[in-house]
Structure 1
Amino acid sequence: MKLWRKTALLSLATLLIVVMAACGNKNNDSSDKVTVKFSEVIRSIFYAPHYAAMSQGFFEDEGITLDLNTAQGSDKGAAALLAGTADISLVGPEAAIYIHNQKGDKTLKIFYQLTMKDGSFLLSRDPIESFKWSDLEGKTVIGWRPGSSPQMVLNSTLLKEGVKDVNVVTNIASPAMAGAFTSGQGDFIQLFEPVASTLVNAGKAYYAVSMGESFGAYPETSYVATSDFIKKHPDVIQRFSNAVAKGAAWLQTASNDDIAAALAPFFEGTSKELIIQSIERYKKQGTWTTDPVMTQDQFDTLQAVLVENGVLKAEDKVKMTDVADMKYAKKIDTE
């Protein structure tokens, strides 16, 4: 009898140790190390929360190692997901709608909304004392590829402002845009940071207007994965979301010096002062939020822009639940 009681007590003690260990680790799966093949649309300070999460070790804290690749376009980032060469991509959320309407074997799901405004800035070749949208009439603008978020935001703004006779060049690859402008092409150019400030600080372009401030709220960039990947790896999606959210929260309180140091490895050759300038511009226009849940209003704005730009028929609009799964963003744990 005494032997039985001793054995029972030992078993109970062992069980308590296991339970306490589990309780001490709220995200038990984070102990399972995983490599995530990650594709970003372009390299830009517009995505600072992601780089902050990498530099501050937030992905490592969640047990994730990132295999980082730059796609140079949302279309390429979406294609990488479908081909299986990427697990998660940072792309324009419209990519999920396009893929859904193709009714193929694979579909994409948006699970985290990173940016809340367009991140591009319109620069002019010559200084303009007080920019007006009518200044673009009869001019050439070096812009982004057709169907991309920055291209559609610019076009919708031109329509809203009633500006006509603008030649928007959309066939120059994004890495070559700045070089084309500095070599003499175009009267205006639409660029993201830090490339925009690089040209301005070099005296090769002049700041005209922020597209984000001009257009207003717009869900420009989201984290997306295939429905299959999310179903098979919900813990990875949650841990990934937690890490990015930690990066976004860190940006809200970190000093400019700390932010510049965190982002510097991702922007070699870019000065500390230029990184800080870029960050301050994005903060000023409310680019990032600590709430990464895409709302129905944001999704409606997205589809309205797609219809206005002729890349989506009104009758082909989709339900938000068809292409987005926000439960992971709603359950973020940044502790």
Structure 2
Amino acid sequence: MNVRKISLVLLATMLVIVVAACGKNSNKESVPLTKVKFSEVIRSIFYAPHYIAMSKGFFKEQGLDVDMNTAQGSDKGAAALIAGTADISLVGPETSIYIYNQKGDKTLKVFHQLTSKDGSFLLSREKLDNFKWSDLQGKTIIGWRPGSAPQMVLNSTLLKEQAKDVKVVTNIAAPAMAGAFASGQGDFIQLFEPVASTLVKEGKAYFAASLGEAFGPFPETSYVATSDFIRKNPQTIQKFTTAVAEGARWLSTASKDEITQALKPFFEGTPEDIIIQSVERYKSQGTWSTDPQLTKEQFDILQNVLVENGVLKADEKIASMDDVVDMSFVKNIGKSD
């Protein structure tokens, strides 16, 4: 009889603990997430840390519900910020300079630097055992729209390598570029991963060169928001920055299988070997910095490239990067509230 009473008491105690635990979980789940309208420039493994932050729940851990769409261009991502249809955009940092110099009602600010190299690769139609930039003479390259970061990096590389008589096609929409090349247009094409490796695997192209390695350090893609949004929503910006940084840290230590599984939902139809190959290629060229700051040195490189490509006059250079850059949130990563 005593044994039965003890068993009943233990059972009742366990039920109380379970109910209490469920109550806590219920309360936690009932806390509303802050919705963030987010626009990415294109879909590419070049932005893997962001997808990791979504897949592994780092944004939700910060209390954010990220609603993502793909703009297909930094100009469109910047326009979405100005129009208010996006809160945060992943675009080229040059957009903040363009908008600032327009002297309009709104300005944009970079608050997190995601990539520190160009992420595109030059592919050839014919196999070249030892590619040289002089091989481009008299050839046609399918490239990106005028004024975009990859287009300017390619042009500056061609100038640096003294590659002459090269025609670069810049009027084909990003989603149609690979198809145009596969159908016979152009001798070379400039693509991001995983599209580049997919075209190679299909036997429709061959790797010639990495623009990231050829050009060197370049702040290609940043998280940007309007100055007004940053001022009114500093906690959201801080949480967003912290989540992306956590995604980059996880990416640097996770196994190949873990990374593949985390990225697969964002690249449906892409073989697993292509996904991890793309990640490894970007890792090997130092794409994702452990310190996601846009430095003064990087900002100077950016403005020099803009001037070299004729989209910014020398006297239009921004003297103080603080006018279009706010790295305070990056500097606060890891600090207690």
TM-score by length of 1: 0.90
Q: Which residue of 2 aligns with 1:248?
A: 248
Q: Which residue of 2 aligns with 1:110?
A: 110
Gaps (5+ residues) in structure 2? 1-30
Q: Which residue of 1 aligns with 2:13?
A: none
1:210 partner amino acid? S
Deviation per residue, 1:266-296 (Å, 9 max, x gap): 0000011110110010001000012011110
C-alpha distance in structure 2 between counterparts of 1:108 and 1:68, whole Å: 19
C-alpha distance in structure 2 between counterparts of 1:171 and 1:334, whole Å: 46
1:164 partner amino acid? K
Q: Which residue of 2 aligns with 1:329?
A: 330
2:325 partner amino acid? A
- How far 1:182 sits from its partner (Å)? 0.2
C-alpha distance in structure 2 between counterparts of 1:317 and 1:174, whole Å: 29
1:326 partner amino acid? M
Q: Which residue of 2 aligns with 1:276?
A: 276
Q: How many residues align?
A: 305
C-alpha distance in structure 1 between counterparts of 2:269 and 2:33, whole Å: 32
C-alpha distance in structure 1 between counterparts of 2:261 and 2:335, whole Å: 22
Assess if the C-alpha contact under 8 Å between 1:78 and 1:91 holds in 2: yes
Q: Which residue of 2 aligns with 1:123?
A: 123
- How far 1:334 sits from its partner (Å)? 8.3
C-alpha distance in structure 2 between counterparts of 1:41 and 1:134, whole Å: 31
TM-score by length of 2: 0.90
Assess if the C-alpha contact under 8 Å between 1:49 and 1:248 holds in 2: yes
2:306 is the alignment partner of 1:306: yes
1:239 partner amino acid? K
C-alpha distance in structure 1 between counterparts of 2:152 and 2:217, whole Å: 14
C-alpha distance in structure 2 between counterparts of 1:73 and 1:291, whole Å: 25
Deviation per residue, 1:128-177 (Å, 9 max, x gap): 01000000010000000000000000000000111111000000000000
- How far 1:32 sits from its partner (Å)? 6.2
C-alpha distance in structure 2 between counterparts of 1:274 and 1:172, whole Å: 25
Counting only pairs closer than 5 Å after superposition, residues 152-167 of structure 1 correspond to structure 2 as 152-167=152-167
C-alpha distance in structure 2 between counterparts of 1:121 and 1:256, whole Å: 22
Q: Which residue of 2 aligns with 1:81?
A: 81
C-alpha distance in structure 2 between counterparts of 1:149 and 1:85, whole Å: 23
Q: Which residue of 2 aligns with 1:198?
A: 198
Deviation per residue, 1:311-335 (Å, 9 max, x gap): 0000000121110000001101289
Runs (4 or more) in structure 1 with deviation over 3 Å come to: none
2:209 is the alignment partner of 1:220: no
Assess if the C-alpha contact under 8 Å between 1:245 and 1:334 holds in 2: no
C-alpha distance in structure 2 between counterparts of 1:188 and 1:325, whole Å: 38
1:313 partner amino acid? K
Q: Which residue of 2 aligns with 1:133?
A: 133
- How far 1:60 sits from its partner (Å)? 0.3
C-alpha distance in structure 2 between counterparts of 1:55 and 1:291, whole Å: 22
CA pair 334-181 structure 1, distance change in 2 beyond 3 A:
farther
Q: SS in structure 2 opposite 1:115? A: coil
C-alpha distance in structure 1 between counterparts of 2:65 and 2:215, whole Å: 36
C-alpha distance in structure 2 between counterparts of 1:292 and 1:334, whole Å: 15
Assess if the C-alpha contact under 8 Å between 1:90 and 1:222 holds in 2: yes
C-alpha distance in structure 2 between counterparts of 1:192 and 1:171, whole Å: 17
Q: SS in structure 2 opposite 1:268? A: coil
1:325 partner amino acid? D
Aligned Cα root-mean-square deviation (Å): 0.9
Assess if the C-alpha contact under 8 Å between 1:39 and 1:90 holds in 2: yes
Assess if the C-alpha contact under 8 Å between 1:260 and 1:272 holds in 2: yes
- How far 1:49 sits from its partner (Å)? 0.3
2:93 is the alignment partner of 1:93: yes
CA pair 334-43 structure 1, distance change in 2 beyond 3 A:
farther
Q: Which residue of 2 aligns with 1:232?
A: 232
Q: SS in structure 2 opposite 1:54? A: helix
C-alpha distance in structure 2 between counterparts of 1:278 and 1:292, whole Å: 21
Q: Which residue of 1 aligns with 2:297?
A: 297
Q: SS in structure 2 opposite 1:287? A: coil
Counting only pairs closer than 5 Å after superposition, residues 63-74 of structure 1 correspond to structure 2 as 63-74=63-74
C-alpha distance in structure 2 between counterparts of 1:84 and 1:97, whole Å: 19
C-alpha distance in structure 1 between counterparts of 2:193 and 2:206, whole Å: 14
Assess if the C-alpha contact under 8 Å between 1:38 and 1:66 holds in 2: yes
Gaps (5+ residues) in structure 1? 1-30
CA pair 296-251 structure 1, distance change in 2 beyond 3 A:
same
Assess if the C-alpha contact under 8 Å between 1:246 and 1:334 holds in 2: no
- How far 1:33 sits from its partner (Å)? 2.3
